[in-house]
Amino acid sequence: MEARVKTGFWARALLRRIAATGRSAMVLHRGDEDAGAVLITLMDRKGGFAILRESSANQGWERVTLADAAASDTYIARQRNYDPDLWVLELETDSVEEPVEKTLGTRRDQGAA
């Protein structure tokens, strides 16, 4: 069994880290405190939207680029219907094209084999 940081702890730490940089970040939906999956919505001031989801292979994040807020809302609603334990976090970025997923880290214990 793979070791993971509890989702609630990880989400709160990420929000604090983002806030410390002066950016906006918030919880849109609180999922299971211990083991819920995480979706991160990215939005920029130009109206761009993207979603980061945890990779099914536990290798970081997968990016889903969306056309607009309605497409983002539809995607999130579909995922929440499928997984009610899902956490949804929203981060503001300068551009949704920024590879922020490289700086987010994961809940997976990198030392676990």
Integer Cα distance of 4 and 50 in angstroms: 25
For 76-99, the pLDDT digits (tens) are 999 999 999 999 999 988 888 888
Q: What's the pLDDT score for residue 29? A: 93
Q: Where does the pLDDT of residue 3 fall: very low under 50, low under 70, confident under 90, or very high at 90 and above?
A: low
pLDDT at residue 35, as a whole number: 81
Strands 38-44 and 49-54: antiparallel
Q: Give the whole-number percent of the chain exceeding pLDDT 70.
A: 90
CB 51 within 8 A of CB 42: yes
The overall average pLDDT reported for the chain is 85
Q: What angle do CA 97, 108, 37 make, to 5 degrees?
A: 70
Domains and CATH numbers, the chain: 7-104 (3.40.1530.20)
Which amino acid is present at 56? S
For tokens 């056309």, name the residue: 67
